[in-house]
Each structure stands twice: as structure tokens, then as C-alpha cells.
């Protein structure tokens, strides 16, 4: 499925209010968006599904503001990023709160989290912005430019986040004996 499909479905949705077209968009993007949230919330599948749901509903309600300058995927990740940080602010587990304690409280055991503890521990070594940038770059295969649009920050800042994140992860993974 290409970007042409996205444009066709978005046009059907905007012009005709065709909910089936939106259904197709959700089916296409549910996996990357839920995976993005699952990694950001350190394996809380319930929270990540709630955030993904909020993201898609916001996308549906604001679809007419999609200009097509960036791809639909980038636009959707931008909403997802805002939804996540709104949630972080609302839950007040930001900066001054010990995130490790919160992560343990919120972490729901599920079919994905049990086997993915390593990646969550690794991501916990990074600052929130670094986590987001690294996940978008390495996990979601976004370019630096797309990440800058998603995170609404300068390209240089994104590159710094990724570089710092990569270095920290490199040190952590080496300590854990990864790659030996």
C-alpha cells in the first residue's frame, strides 16, 4: 500500500465523509503507532492503546487540516507525539518524578512486554526527547527531517538527540554484553 492509497482514502474521507476510508487508514497505521506508544510507555499496552485511540480520533476530527505537505504518516506521528506529551504532562510523571517507579507501577504485563524488557531497560537510559527521536529513527525508520517535523524542533537538535541517544545506548548495550 503506497502513499497514493493514503491520499485517495483521505480525499474520500474529507469529501464524502467516508468512514470506510478512515477504517483502511487505521488498519494500515495501527501497528506502527501502537508500537511507538508501547515503546514510549515502556510496555504499558493498555495506556498505549488508549493513546493510539486518541491519536486516531484526533486525526479523524482534524483530517481537513492535513495539507499533504508532509506525508500522512509524518502528520499522524506528529499528533501521536503531541498526544503522548499531553498525557505525560497530565499524568505528571515528567522530569521531577522518578520515572522508573512510575514505569513499574504502570507497566502492564502483556504478550509484548514480557519479552521486550531489554529494550525498555535500554530506552530508560535515555531522556524523553532522546527516546522519542531514537525510536522514530531506528524503530520507525523516519528521516531526520521527518523527525524534526514530528517533534517540531530544529534539524540540528534532532541530530543531537539521536547522536546522544545512540552513544548512551551504545555504552549501555556494551555493558550488557550485547553484540559480543
The answer to whether the CB of 44 falls within 8 A of the CB of 108 is yes
Q: What is d(CA 179, CA 89) in angstroms, rounded to the nearest whole number?
A: 36
Q: How far is the CB of 28 from other proteins (least distance, A)?
A: 10
Query: Based on CB atoms, which residue is closest to other proteins, 106 or 116?
Result: 116
Query: Based on CB atoms, which residue is closest to other proteins, 22 or 77?
Result: 22
* Residue 56 contacts other proteins per CB under 8 A: yes
* Residue 86 contacts other proteins per CB under 8 A: no
Residue among 1, 3, 8, 31 that touches other proteins (CB under 8 A)? 31
* Residue 119 contacts other proteins per CB under 8 A: yes
* Residue 17 contacts other proteins per CB under 8 A: yes
Residue among 5, 7, 49, 153 that touches other proteins (CB under 8 A)? 49
* Residue 109 contacts other proteins per CB under 8 A: no
Q: What is d(CA 34, CA 83) in angstroms, rounded to the nearest whole number?
A: 12
Cα-only R_g, the chain = 17
The answer to whether the CB of 36 falls within 8 A of the CB of 140 is yes
Residue 112 C-alpha from the chain's centroid:
16
Q: Apex CA 130: angle with CA 66 and CA 155, to 5°?
A: 55
Given CA atoms 111, 114, 118, 121 in this order, what sign does their dihedral have? positive
Part in contact with other proteins (CB under 8 A); list of ranges 2-10, 73-81, 84-92, 117-125 = 117-125
* Residue 27 contacts other proteins per CB under 8 A: yes
Q: How far is the CB of 66 from other proteins (least distance, A)?
A: 15
Amino acid at each position: 500500500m503506497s502513499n497514493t492509497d493514503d491520499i485517495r482514502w483521505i480525499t474520500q474521507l474529507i469529501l464524502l465523509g467516508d468512514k470506510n476510508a478512515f477504517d483502511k487508514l487505521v488498519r494500515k497505521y495501527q501497528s506502527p503507532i501502537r508500537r511507538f506508544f508501547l515503546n514510549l510507555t515502556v510496555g504499558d499496552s493498555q495506556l498505549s492503546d488508549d493513546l493510539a485511540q486518541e491519536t486516531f480520533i484526533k486525526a479523524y476530527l482534524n483530517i481537513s487540516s492535513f495539507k499533504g505537505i508532509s506525508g500522512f504518516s509524518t502528520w499522524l506521528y506528529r499528533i501521536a507525539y503531541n498526544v503522548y506529551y499531553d498525557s505525560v504532562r497530565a499524568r505528571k510523571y515528567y522530569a521531577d518524578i522518578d520515572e522508573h517507579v512510575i514505569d513499574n507501577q504502570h507497566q502492564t504485563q502483556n504478550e509484548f512486554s514480557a519479552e521486550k524488557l531489554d529494550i525498555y531497560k535500554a530506552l530508560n537510559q535515555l531522556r524523553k526527547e532522546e527516546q522519542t527521536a531514537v525510536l522514530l529513527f531506528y524503530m520507525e525508520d523516519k528521516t531526520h527531517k521527518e523527525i524534526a517535523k514530528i517533534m517540531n524542533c530544529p534539524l540540528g537538535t534532532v541530530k543531537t538527540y539521536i547522536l546522544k541517544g545512540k552513544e548512551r545506548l551504545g555504552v549501555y548495550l556494551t555493558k550488557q554484553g550485547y553484540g559480543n
